Amino acid sequence: MSAWLAEAPNRNMLWARLFVDELARGGLREVVIAPGSRSTPLVFAFAECPAITVYSLLDERGAAFFALGLAQAADRPVAILCTSGTAAANFLPAVVEAHYGRIPLLVLTADRSHELRDSGANQTVDQVRLFGTHALWSVDVALPEADPPAVLLRSLRTLAARALAAADGMPKGAVHLNFPFRKPLEPVAEAMSPAAIPLGPENGAPSIRVLRAAQTPSEAQIARLAEVLQAAERPAVVCGPRCPDGDFPAVVRALAERAGAALFADVLSGVRAGDSGLAGYDTVLAGKPVLQAPDAVIQFGAPPTSQALTDYLNAASGPRLTVTADGVWQDPDHRTTDWLWADPTELCRVVTVRLAAREPSVWQTAHRRAAQAARKALAEVRRGHFFDGGAVAAVIEALPEGAQIFAASSLTIRNLDQFAALDRPVRVIGNRGASGIDGTVSSAFGLAAAHPNAPTALITGDLALYHDMNGLIAGHRLGLKLIIVVINNNGGGIFRRLPVAKFDPPFEELFVTPHGLTFEAAAGQFGLVYRRPGDEAELRAALAEALAELRSVLIEVITDSSADLAVRRNVIARSIARAATLD
């Protein structure tokens, strides 16, 4: 690549190539580009760089969410690039999600040069620190020069290395680099007299590395966690969304087992997959059971999706320990008594060894039986009713080992958390940082891009699908396959769970917002196969067919949110009745 750098035709291209070269050396593998003119030098540099795959998408909002899905599924930083103006503003929703979801995202915006800023020039807006507190780091990059000093050229390599390190740091998140360019933006030749161009190591290694320490648990942390678990009679281990992957799921299960703890594993935690015994607690706890409250809580990951679990934990007395490697303060009920900032996997491993063996725990057994009762109640009710929760469960059951599932926010993720027993290793991902319903389709296609050979499904409600309908373009445009299951209950069914449901008007019109849309036409416009099953058997058939299909598929399940809520209550009531029988 040295010739590529040494022979850059003009200052803009030199800037762009140096920066992109270091990104490639640093491990960046994907960039998502929305078309525009001011970004031309970076577009060319990315297109010319063989190590980086370029995805081209037309709506910046969706493009950024596509990158989020890709970054989450691939577990590495992904870059997004757009031109100047409101294009950059359309990145904000995904940048906010990257911030709270701790997803590494490199946000590259092209900008006008300084003489055009705040001057009334076309498509020129104030992009400096445009993302405010939602970017971990923000840089207004130096304008390219024809005779740059050596330190300025070196700083472009630093910029790339540092941006990657910051985005993939502790915590992870979005980094914003704003690149001003002056015309000509194309790779036309100009006379230049740069100082020595830093070409980087010949073997393609990074010019600058960032080597980090292990977050080894301290003796004080180990002793505190062991002491709390040992002393507790009713310990609870809670794994919220986005727990570490790797060995963590097995290790935290072993810890809970050794400690005689009740284990609550969120559907987004990564800990539930492979153990269908872990599903059902939301149903149990929503029924206000006679299960005693815990007397110690150990919390990993983000706050759990389940409101019933949250309420249950809030009834607990005793210590609450929250374990996190990156020190992000996630404790909305302000109940954490001890923060343990260390590698969660290592901490679990060491403490498990240290804990004394314990008698089989009545407490643990009571929780397991109650969850089992909830799963049986669901199976019973599904035989007689086709409802949103059953549809969600059916989708999960149909997917093979290794599948990826993107869960939309709002009712979908709650249904998954309540009803999805994951008896095989599948990965469930959602935008649970800010829990928006925006960018859903695009994020799901990002998963498909990360692992094109893994079956990938999106489960979504109608509002989330509508919100990012133009994200459907990714299937045909990028040759990606996604199975989309939309549970269409004609509006915001989740509001029926809230107290506001008793106040109509304006409840139906301004909260539920029924729209009457179905999505067959959208499937047609974007070249997706479309199916509308009328019961669970038809849904299973449609899913089997979709798995064998080469194109993306949109499966629309029409439900009634009032009826679904009644069925949900039925499942809860039956699970309480069953649990009582078991006792």
Number of helices and strands (H, E) in the chain? Answer: 21, 17
142 near a copy of itself, rule: CB under 8 A: no
- CB nearer a copy of itself, residue 473 or residue 571: 473
Footprint (CB under 8 A) of a copy of itself, residues 243-282:
none
Give the nearest distance from C-beta 240 to a copy of itself in angstroms.
Answer: 9
User: Least distance to a copy of itself from the beta carbon of 522, Å?
Assistant: 6
Is the CB of 41 or the CB of 260 nearer to a copy of itself?
Answer: 41
Which CB atom, from 376 or from 497, has the smaller least distance to a copy of itself? 497
State the nearest-atom distance from the C-beta of 63 to a copy of itself, in Å: 11
CB nearer to a copy of itself: pick between 201 and 499: 499
**Pair 165, 209: CB distance under 8 Å:** no
Instruction: Give phi and psi for 237, each to the nearest 5.
Output: -110, 125
Segment contacting a copy of itself by CB under 8 A, of 225-233, 337-345, 381-389, 494-502: 494-502
Told to check if 458 binds a copy of itself by CB under 8 A, we report no
User: Considering the rule CB under 8 A, would residue 506 count as an interface residue with a copy of itself?
Assistant: yes
The single residue listed with the structure tokens 């039925």 is: 570
459 contributes a contact to a copy of itself by CB under 8 A: no
Distance of CA 368 to the CA centre of its chain: 29
Residue nearer to a copy of itself on the CB measure, 227 or 331? 331
Subset of 412-451 contacting a copy of itself (CB under 8 A): 434-436, 438
Region of 97-105, 141-149, 376-384, 398-406 interacting with a copy of itself (CB under 8 A):
97-105
List the one residue from 502, 548, 581, 583 that touches a copy of itself (CB under 8 A). 502
Choosing from 120, 212, 356, 453, the residue that interacts with a copy of itself (CB under 8 A) is 120
Q: In angstroms, rounded to a whole number, what is the distance separating the alpha carbons of residues 443 and 70?
A: 7
Reading the block at residue 281, the tokens are 């607690």
**Restricting to residues 311-350, which ones interact with a copy of itself according to CB under 8 A?**
328-332, 334
Q: What are phi and psi of 448, to 5 degrees?
A: -60, -35
DSSP character for 180?
Answer: E
Q: How far is the CB of 439 from a copy of itself (least distance, A)?
A: 8
Spatial distance between the Cα atoms of 441 and 545, rounded to a whole number of angstroms: 21
Nearer to a copy of itself, 352 or 489 (CB): 489
Angle at 44 between CA 38 and CA 50, to 5 degrees: 150
Selected binder of a copy of itself within 2, 7, 121, 365 (CB under 8 A): 121
Which of 178, 352 has the CB closer to a copy of itself? 178
Q: Which of 393, 552, 368 lies closest to 474, judged by CA?
A: 552
Token readout for 156 is 């472009």
Residues in the chain: 583
Contact 479, 533 (CB under 8 A): no
Shortest distance, CB of residue 527 to a copy of itself, whole angstroms? 9
Going by C-alpha positions, the residue among 123, 126, 127, 70 that lies closest to residue 94 is 70
Name the segment binding a copy of itself (CB under 8 A); options: 52-60, 211-219, 370-378, 446-454.
52-60
Nearest to a copy of itself of 54, 208 (CB atom): 54
Largest pairwise CA distance in the chain: 86
Site for a copy of itself in 352-381 (CB under 8 A): none
Nearest distance from C-beta of residue 147 to a copy of itself, angstroms: 24
Decide whether 360 or 499 has the Cβ nearer to a copy of itself: 499
Give, to the nearest 10 degrees, the angle between helix 92-101 and helix 60-74: 20
Nearest-angstrom CA–CA distance, 21 and 32 = 17
Nearer to a copy of itself, 7 or 147 (CB): 7
The answer to whether residues 394 and 540 touch, using CB atoms and an 8 Å cutoff, is yes
* Distance (Å, whole) CA 542 – CA 283: 28
The residue (of 518 and 570) whose beta carbon lies closer to a copy of itself is: 518
Nearer to a copy of itself, 88 or 259 (CB): 88
Residue carrying the six token digits 């009745």? 577
Q: Are 509 and 503 in contact (CB under 8 A)?
A: no
Interface residue with a copy of itself among 51, 54, 170, 254 (CB under 8 A) is: 54
What residues between 535 and 574 interact with a copy of itself by CB under 8 A?
none
Sole binder of a copy of itself in the list 130, 166, 325, 342 (CB under 8 A)? 130
Contact call for residue 86 and a copy of itself (CB under 8 A)? yes
Q: Taking CB under 8 A as the rule, does residue 50 contact a copy of itself? A: no
Angle at 73 between CA 485 and CA 27, to 5 degrees: 150
Among 116, 170, 293, 563, interactor with a copy of itself by CB under 8 A = 116
Question: HEC string of 194-248?
Answer: CCCCCCCCCCCCCCCCCCCCCCCCCHHHHHHHHHHHHHCCCEEEEECCCCCCCCH
Contacts of 391 (CB under 8 A, 6+ apart): 485, 487, 536, 539, 557, 559
User: For the CA atoms of 65, 70, 76, 79, what is the dihedral angle to 10 degrees?
Assistant: -50
**Minimum distance of a copy of itself from residue 411's CB (angstroms):** 13
Nearest-approach distance from CB 350 to a copy of itself, in angstroms: 26
Interface with a copy of itself includes 11 (CB under 8 A)? no
CA distances (Å), origin 511, targets 30, 96, 488, 492, 508:
39, 24, 16, 7, 6
Closest distance of CB 57 from a copy of itself, Å: 9
The span of 94-102, 206-214, 227-235, 393-401 binding a copy of itself (CB under 8 A) equals: 94-102
Tokens 């001890």 correspond to: 338
181-220 residues in contact with a copy of itself (CB under 8 A) are 184-188
How many residues at the interface with a copy of itself, by CB under 8 A? 91
Judged by CB under 8 A, the residue of 10, 12, 40, 221 near a copy of itself is 40
Please say which residue, 43 or 374, places its beta carbon nearer to a copy of itself. Answer: 43
Task: At 192, list the tokens.
Answer: 């230049």
**Residue selected from 3, 50, 133, 193 as contacting a copy of itself according to rule CB under 8 A:** 133
